[in-house]
Amino acid sequence: MEKPSITQMGKKWELMNSLWMLWLFFIGFTSYISFFYIGARTNTKKWLIYGAIYGVLFAQGIIIDELASPESNLMTLSSLIFITSWIWSIVHGFLARPDYLRRKEKILLKEAALHEKQLRSIRTSTENDEIRAVPTPSSHHDHLTSDMNLLTDVSQPETSVGTERSVSKDIKAVKVNSATKQELTAIPSLNTFLAESIIAERGKNGAYESFEDFAERNSLKPHVVIKARPFLVFSESVENQPNSKMTTEEKKTTTKGRVIDF
């Protein structure tokens, strides 16, 4: 009958996370390293203490071997302690292995749950941003009226220049699927490293379909997502909507009408 796995991760995972036991078999010279390792990986104090004890037993054997004569009783006692501690460290390692694997599994599951929580937070934030980004009829009308005012208001040139300067200072949204590294680094919270990573991921696995896809594929942190979201564009549908801006013919008609009225 096949022996069941100690954890839910499977026997292959358990075997790969048991390689630290190899240090137990070097005639006691490295037994203490095994316990220092599992203690540090799982933040378990008792194994760190055991590692220190095995280290002291190893050190006394080396020191007495240098100071005492081979035929002395002290040398015989030291050798007996050294060999006994080595054999016990092997037994101890096998006894500690199941507990170590369960602790390691618990840590990994906790980290996976935290990562999933961050992804859900990103998805929720993205959905809320998309809802707020849907244009209303009134905002579309205000945008069209603003464009007409810029075309017809020729009596205040200084105000127009001031407006253009103010707009040029604002950060412009960029198309993620065609943006360069310089354009991406201009976005708040996106540094050079993230920009290079975004471009590399885009070239390897294709264009980003949505902001959720973008955040998940690049493993972005929530604070990065919140700052960068307003300046990233993933679809050209908004720009290609009819009547989003006045066409060239409309501008000409408006300009001509202005001259005739004058």
> Which of 116, 151, 166 corresponds to the end of one domain?
116
Question: What is the Cα–Cα distance from 101 to 8, expressed in whole angstroms?
Answer: 10
Please enumerate in sequence order all residues whose Cβ is within 8 A of that of 7, keeping only pairs 6 or more positions apart, or say none.
13, 14, 101, 102, 105
Question: What is the Cα–Cα distance from 50 to 40, expressed in whole angstroms?
Answer: 12
> Which of 66, 100, 116 corresponds to the end of one domain?
116
Give me the number of domains the chain comprises.
2
> Which of 116, 144, 165 corresponds to the end of one domain?
116
On whether both 126 and 256 belong to a single domain, the answer is: yes
Q: 233 pairs with which residues across the strands?
A: 175
What is the domain extent for residue 80? 11-116
Backbone φ and ψ of 10, nearest 5°: 100, 160
On whether both 57 and 161 belong to a single domain, the answer is: no
The string of pLDDT tens digits covering residues 17-58 is 999 999 999 877 889 999 999 999 999 999 999 999 999 998
User: What pLDDT is recorded for position 134?
Assistant: 56
Q: 175 pairs with which residues across the strands?
A: 233
On whether both 126 and 99 belong to a single domain, the answer is: no
Q: Which of 6-15, 184-193, 239-248 has the highest mean pLDDT?
A: 6-15
Question: What is the Cα–Cα distance from 260 to 241, expressed in whole angstroms?
Answer: 31
Mean pLDDT of 85-103: 94
**Cβ proximity of 20 and 38 under 8 Å:** yes
Give the residue among 137, 114, 134, 122 at the shortest CA–CA distance from 213: 122
Question: What is the Cα–Cα distance from 170 to 147, expressed in whole angstroms?
Answer: 18
How many residues would you count in the chain?
Answer: 262
Question: Letter for the amino acid at 42?
Answer: T
164 pLDDT higher than 80: no
DSSP-assigned letter for residue 235: -
Residue 5 maps to a domain: no
On whether both 65 and 149 belong to a single domain, the answer is: no
CA–CA distances in Å: residue 134 to residues 121, 130, 138, 225, 238: 21, 7, 12, 19, 10
Residue 3 maps to a domain: no
| Three-state DSSP class for residue 50 | helix
Percent of the chain past pLDDT 70, that is, above it, reads 73
The string of pLDDT tens digits covering residues 219-258 is 888 878 788 888 888 764 433 333 333 344 433 443 444 3
